[in-house]
Amino acid sequence: MNKLTSVLVILMGFSLGLQAANRNLHHIDSLYDVTINGCQQKILVQSNNTDNPILLYLHGGPGSSIMLRSHIFSGQLMDHFILVNWDQRGTALSFHEGMDTTMISEDQIREDALELIRYLLAKYHQKKVYLIGHSFGSVIGLQLVANHPEFFYAYIGVGQVAYDWNKSIAISYNWLHNQLEKANDISGLKRIEAGKFPYIDLITKYGGHHRLSLDLDSMIRSSPYYFDGYLDLLRKGKAFSVKYMGKYPQKQKEMNKSIWEIGVPLYFFEGVNDHVIACAPELVVEYCKKVKAPIKKVIWFRKSAHYICVEEPEKFQNELIRIKTKNQ
């Protein structure tokens, strides 16, 4: 090898090294604590390019973390977004013994979400985020975009909570009653008829929460962030959140604008088999027709119920990337 060739090889190696270093500088996969409104809470931030826009996932519940299932649907998203999963106060990795029970409320979590968004925008030098609200998180999310449209490129409601609680309950009840009759489940029929209510354990049993072939706990165990004792922590945080959510009166601050006129594009990811209480897709379609927004669209997931992100992860990611392409 002559001197010129040797120099070229060295330069090429140096250049490739710089490119790899630059890629690493833009890559992030970090689980860490942030203090939000005086409460230590956990976020997981993942991206292959931190110049990409932020995508914040508001999980459901209350208390139903998605963080340790996010590896199922994050592969493509990390190339297009800074994906942020957040355990809301009282949930899983944001649960602490001796937490102030008076601060577990819808209003407080909205305030926390707003503070987290401001933190993320400042940290990554951005002006707006994409926001996903899943189930209970969709209650938080829709109010956020109604009150602070200036912070959002678009809103994506996943298993969106419907605007009419009583109608949604009736729709879920009728579906469940039919399923129980078909299965000749006498004890289930007696139970829901006595309470006049579609109990979530029965909805789950008959596939109205997620596809029965999926093991949601096994997904958690396959997470690179899983540790022994996590599932107990998750269940403890969920029980805590459900017990104290809304138990104490809150002073609602800014969250009072109508959800019928929203200044950002609205997208609703709906599973055709979703029969979760308060999340009837039929009412989401109705809402989408009536709400005033720059863009409003229902996107159907034919193989999903309520847990779209892990039931159809490829389509889930592709639709989010498509939304980004339309709204950047």
Question: For 259-283, how does the pLDDT look when each residue is reduced to its tens digit (9 = 90+)?
Answer: 999 999 999 999 999 999 999 999 9
DSSP string computed for 277-316: TT--HHHHHHHHHHSB-S-EEEEEETT-SS-HHHHSHHHH
Would you say residue 130 has pLDDT above 70? yes
Full set of structural domains in the chain with CATH: 27-164+214-327 (3.40.50.1820)
Average pLDDT taken over every residue of the chain: 91
* Residues forming beta bridges with residue 134, ordered by sequence position: 158
Q: At what angle do helices 281-290 and 165-182 cross, to 10 degrees?
A: 150
Question: For 9-45, how does the pLDDT look when each residue is reduced to its tens digit (9 = 90+)?
Answer: 444 554 444 444 444 558 999 999 999 999 999 999 9
Q: Give φ, ψ of 189 to 5 degrees.
A: -60, -45
Percent of the chain with pLDDT over 90: 84
Handedness of CA 119, 323, 307, 222 (dihedral sign): negative
Distance, CA of 146 to CA of 258 (rounded, Å): 7
- Tokens for 10, please give them: 């060295």
Question: For 180-228, how does the pLDDT look when each residue is reduced to its tens digit (9 = 90+)?
Answer: 999 999 999 999 999 999 999 999 999 999 999 999 999 999 999 999 9
Cβ count near 131 (within 10 Å): 27
Would you say residue 5 has pLDDT above 60? no
Distance, CA of 301 to CA of 315 (rounded, Å): 8
What is the Cα gyration radius of the chain?
A: 22
